[in-house]
Each structure stands twice: as structure tokens, then as C-alpha cells.
Amino acid sequence: MSAPNIETIVSLAKRRGFVFPSSEIYGGLGSAWDYGPLGVELSNNVKQAWWRWMVHERDDMEGIDSSIILNPLVWKYSGHEATFNDPLVDCRKCKSRFRADKLQEEYEHTHPTEGPVIYGTGVVSFAADNKCPNCGASDWTESRYFNLMFETRIGATAAEKDEVGDVGESLLGGRAYLRPETAQGIFINFLNVQTTMRRKVPFGIAQIGKSFRNEVTPGNFIFRTREFEQMEMEYFVRPGEDERVHQEWIDYCYNWFTSLGISPDNLQLYEQPKEELAHYAKRTVDIHYRFFPEREDEARQWDELMGIANRTDFDLKAHSKKPEDAEGKRLNPDSTEDLSYFDEATKERFYPYVIEPAAGVNRTVLAVLMDAYSEKVNDKNEKRVVLKLHPRLAPIKAAILPLAKNKPEIVGMAKAIKRSLQPVMRAVYDDTGGIGKLYARQDEIGTPFCVTVDHQSLEDEAVTVRDRDTWEQERVKVSDLREHLERRLQPPPAEVSQP
Ligand code: GAP
């Protein structure tokens, strides 16, 4: 089974220290969340698994970590200043603001057989009798576009200009943006990476980091927030090879999610129709996860976990000083570089095409939590939650539990075992309850193994290892414990061929 809805995970996440509503003591900040002690471990494990799979286990990959605030010209030439927009409408009655396209989608879904409707005259088609989800009125402003990039200012204000250090003078006090995707930091470093690492096309550059979007309707827990993390990779190929390589990456990425234990029943591929494609994309296929299993209509249960786009040569050309339009006018008079690639073997110069797998860290954390959720009944007929996380992702790998916390020899032995494990895995010591309670807590946070130290352990130098999923117990010598756990925590990697 998996979680019946996101709410189940919200409550588990708060109860057990995965994710807390941010700024709660000041009334919260809509759609901002803080990762607690277990959430930060889980999210780090997701990022480490991705980095190992994407960068370390391949021969054709480099990683970078670029700035969050880039020269604003990056966003001018990437097209984000002009096109990174959502259409908005305001309810005149209650002053709430909504995404016009999303309301309209919902409307068309609930009025499938309706005759012609009266559309507003704004930037998108919008039925005038759409009902406000907040107050129920149908009194709308016209729809208009709103840019999603978060604005900020560089350096001090004009009055304090003299005290500012090394910020480019022309940008002082000027408007800048927090990056809405990590991808552009990769494109502007394409030549730096290619030349310093002596790379030949095809090769890729990967990056994990925060991105920011001033989302109009954030929500559904960590699914859509204004501050989030992305795991993106830009794979540079010769034009003409892009379509084949794109398809290979789609399959490869899908298999990565199943290798993390996500059920194929909850994953599906979604081919973006032409009208949905971003301004840079020739083709995009999304991997959808069943984030909303409670919805009656199966088609509405799914939403995006990852997008895999063919961005063509759009970005490298857009940031190059060379490309010209039909009249021979330079398209980018501000860039000082030409980001084309010279192929030594064929003596050809070209702008590589880019295949981009882009996943959200937070959505992966949510999908992994939802998929791992299960319920089990114990022999006292009590319901227990068991989070069947892949051992590689589990925040805690082993919990060391003393059967008697008032017996110093048992406590000492349990603490020593914990210390012997901690150089190689995240292990915790817990004596804050009876053994049944301690097992239940570890099951609920997804700890694969509980190690119990009992009176017998003092005699035979052995402990009981309890398996989270089967609840089966096994006696293991303390001297063999580390190797025993390490072996069971490392299931053989899934056979996935690389593009
Ligand atoms: N560089 C391409 C790009 O950014 P995207 O589909 O807009 O593509 C990639 O974003 C992934 O980032 C999405 O599949 C999603 O997992 C995650 N993402 C995007 N917006 C998000 C948001 N507001 N909150 C959480 N995750 C988000």
C-alpha cells in the first residue's frame, strides 16, 4: 500500500520530526516548510543517491554548484524575464487571487458537456461563470500575466553606495533575481567546465540547489512551494542525436525512481502537448507520481515529479555573442563569449543540443514518503504505521535499544554498540520507552533495523536484530553486527543500462 493522501504524510511528518510548518510561532508563512532532524537526513539521502547515480557512477558527467543570484542579463537572454509568467485573475468580491489556467482547467473538468461559455478577454480563455473557490462569487478581473521570478536588490541602496565592495558598479542597487531554475548556472559555465575538464560532447553537467518561484497558488505541503530544491542535469549532444538520447534519458530516469523503491503503479510518463511546452523545449516528457490517490477521477491523481526536456540549442545560442537574426543583427550584444563547441575529430563547430532531466528534491521526498507508507496490525490487534523506505534513504539505519534502562551494564553495552556503528551508518540509541513503543516509533520513521541489547547479551555477546518490514528477529554476534547490518543495508543495485 501507499499513503491514502498527502494529509496522512503531513501529520506523520510533523509528529515524527520530518517536516514542520515554517515560522509557526509567528503564525506560519503560507507554503514554507522546515525540514526537521529526520527530514534533513531523508532529503540529504535523496540528494546523495541522485548525485552518486548521476555523477559518480558515470564516465561522462561533471558536477557544479553555481550562484543563486546571477547577473540579471542571464534571465533576460534565457527568456525568463519575458516568458516565465502565470496568468492570474482576482476575485473582485473577496480579493483572492488565483491562477486563471488552473481554475479554467477545473471548470472544464466539471462542465464537460456544457455548451459554449462566455470567455473573459484577458490573456487566457476564462469562463465568466467560474466560481471563486474562496467566496463562491463569479465577479472576476480580466486575466493578466504575472512574472514568477523573485526579485531582490544587489548591494546597498544608493545612499550607502560608497561602502559597497566589489559588486559591479552598473548593478549596484539594481534589480536582480533569485534563480527560478538551476539550469542557467550550468549553461553559462558550459565552456568553463568543458575546457577545464577536457570534455568531449556528449557529456553532462549536474547541479543540485535551491530555486525560487513566486508561485501564485503554492500548496499541497512540500509539493509546490516558493523556495524548493532541484536536481538538474544538462546533457550536451550533437544535433541530430538529441531525439534518441532524449528517449534514453526518459527510460533511465524512470528506472531511477523504481530503483529507490517507488512502485511502478504510482509512476507514469506524461507527454507534454505542444501548447504546454516551455519556450525552449522541442519535446518534454514528465514523470508523474500519484500524489493525489484520494481523487475519484484517476486522471487527476497524478502530477509532475520530474521533467525531461529536449531544450535544443536554445540556451547555448541565447547566451552566445555570435548568433545573429535573419537581418544579421546580433541577438545577444551583451555576452562576451561564444558557447559553441569545436569537434576536433570532424573539425566542425556547432551549438550542442541539450537534454535536461530536472527533478525536485522536495517532490522526490514526498513521493518516497507516500510510497513507503504502510499499515500493519500487530498481535494485539493494534494498527501500526510502517514506513518501508529504501534502506539507502532511511534517515536512521539502526536503532540500538536496551531492554532494561536501569541496568548500567546493558545501557553501557548498547551505547558502545551505537558508537561502534556511527562511523559507517546513522545509528541512534533510544531508551525513552518500553520495547513495544520503541519498535513502533522506529517502524514509523522507517528505520530498517532495531538492535536490542538484553540480559542474555551480557552472557553471550550477541544481540537481537529486528527487521522493520517482516518483524522477524535474528540473534547476531556483536563482533559480526557491523558487517551484518552493512550487508543488509546494501541491496544489490538495480541493473539499469546507461544512455
Ligand atoms: N530547468 C527546468 C525546470 O526547472 P520545471 O519542470 O519547471 O523544469 C523541474 O522544474 C522540477 O522542479 C519539477 O519537476 C518539480 O519536481 C520541481 N519544482 C518545480 N517547481 C516547484 C515548486 N514550486 N515547488 C516544488 N518543486 C518544484
pLDDT in tens, 75-130: 999 999 999 999 999 999 999 999 998 898 888 888 876 655 556 667 888 888 89
Nine-digit cell string for 332: 545577444
Measure 230 CA to ligand 1 centroid, in angstroms: 7
Residue 89: predicted pLDDT: 92
185 lines ligand 1 (CB under 6 A): no
pLDDT given for residue 122 in this prediction: 74
pLDDT of residue 117: 58
Q: How far is the CA of 101 from the centre of ligand 1 (A)?
A: 18
**What span, in angstroms and rounded, lies between the C-alpha atoms of 37 and 148?**
31
Quick one: pLDDT at residue 128? 86
Residue whose CA is at the smallest distance from ligand 1 atom 21: 224
Check residue 494 and report its DSSP letter: P
Query: 84 with 147: CB under 8 angstroms?
Result: yes
Give the mutation target among 304, 305, 311, 365 for probing the ligand 1 site: most ligand atoms within 8 A of CB. Answer: 304
Would the CB of 304 count as within 6 Å of ligand 1?
yes
Contact present, 72 and 174 (Cβ < 8 Å):
yes
Helix extents (H) in 17-72: 37-51
Give 84 Cα–ligand 1 centroid separation in angstroms.
Answer: 13
pLDDT, position 123: 82
For residues 108 and 432, what is the distance between their CA atoms, to the nearest angstrom?
54
Report which protein residue has its CA nearest ligand 1's atom 25. Answer: 224
Ligand 1 atom at minimal distance to the Cα of residue 304: 14
Contacts of 458 (CB under 8 A, 6+ apart): 409, 410, 413
What pLDDT was estimated at residue 154?
87
The contacts of residue 18 (CB under 8 Å, 6+ apart) are 12, 35, 36, 38, 39, 42, 369, 395, 445
In angstroms, rounded to a whole number, what is the distance separating the alpha carbons of residues 363 and 315? 26
Query: Residue 284 phi/psi, 5° resolution?
Result: -135, 130
Helix (H) or strand (E) holding 7: helix 6-16
Nearest ligand 1 atom to alpha carbon 222: 25
- Is the CB of 287 within 6 Å of ligand 1? no
To test the pocket of ligand 1, the residue of 187, 222, 230 to mutate (highest count of ligand atoms within 8 Å of its CB) is 230
At a CB cut-off of 8 Å and minimum separation 6, what does 105 contact?
none
Ligand 1 geometric centre to CA of 63 (Å): 19
Cα gap 134→393, rounded to integer Å: 39
Nearest-CA residue for atom 15 of ligand 1: 360
C-beta of 360 in contact with ligand 1 (< 6 A): yes
Q: Are 323 and 313 in contact (CB under 8 A)?
A: no
CB atoms within 10 A of CB 476: 17
Distance 359 CA to ligand 1 centre (A): 6
**Does the beta carbon of 184 sit less than 6 angstroms from any atom of ligand 1?**
no
User: What pLDDT, on a 0 to 100 scale, did the predictor assign at position 165?
Assistant: 40
Q: CA 78: distance to chain centroid?
A: 22
360 alpha carbon – ligand 1 mean position (Å): 6
Count CB-CB contacts under 10 A for residue 450.
24
What is residue 276's DSSP assignment? G
State the pLDDT at residue 343: 96
Q: Which helix (H) or strand (E) holds 419?
A: helix 408-421
Q: Find the 83 Cα to ligand 1 centroid distance in Å.
A: 16
Instruction: Please give the distance, rounded to the nearest whole angstrom, from the Cα atom of residue 276 to the centre of ligand 1.
Output: 14
Distances (CA, A) of 440 to 6, 109, 380: 21, 43, 13
Strands 427-429 and 449-453: unpaired
pLDDT of residue 116: 53
Bridge partners for 269 per DSSP? 287
CB 137 within 8 A of CB 88: no
Residues in the chain: 499
Per-residue pLDDT of the chain (499 residues; tens, 9 = 90+): 899 999 999 999 999 999 999 999 999 998 899 999 999 999 999 999 999 999 999 999 999 999 999 999 999 999 999 999 999 999 999 999 999 988 988 888 888 766 555 566 678 888 888 999 999 999 999 989 999 999 999 886 554 444 434 445 556 568 899 999 999 999 999 999 999 999 999 999 999 999 999 998 899 999 999 999 999 999 999 999 999 999 999 999 999 999 999 999 999 999 999 989 998 999 999 999 999 999 999 999 999 999 999 999 999 999 999 988 889 899 999 999 999 999 999 999 999 999 999 999 999 999 999 999 999 999 999 999 999 999 999 999 999 999 999 999 999 999 999 999 999 999 999 999 999 999 999 999 999 999 999 999 999 999 999 999 999 999 999 999 999 999 999 866 555 567 7
**CA–CA distances in Å: residue 326 to residues 82, 192, 329, 338, 340:** 21, 30, 7, 18, 19
How far, in Å, CA of 310 to CA of 242, rounded?
Answer: 7
What would the DSSP string read from start to end of 64-75?
----SB--THHH
Task: Decide: residue 327, CB within 10 A, 0-12 exposed, 13-18 middle, 19+ buried.
Answer: exposed
Strands 427-429 and 398-402: parallel
The pTM (predicted TM-score) of the whole model is 0.93
Note if the bond before 202 is cis, omega within 30 degrees: yes
Q: In this predicted structure, what is the pLDDT of residue 163?
A: 41
The most distant pair of C-alpha atoms in the chain lies apart, rounded to whole Å, by: 88
pLDDT tens for each residue of 344-384: 999 999 999 999 999 999 999 999 999 999 999 999 999 99
CB 53 within 8 A of CB 182: no
CA-proximal residue: ligand 1, atom 20 (nearest): 224
449-453 and 398-402 beta bridge pairing:
parallel
Torsion of CA 332, 333, 337, 340, to 10 degrees: 40
Task: Output phi, psi for 388, to 5 deg.
Answer: -90, 60
Which amino acid does the sequence have at 285? V
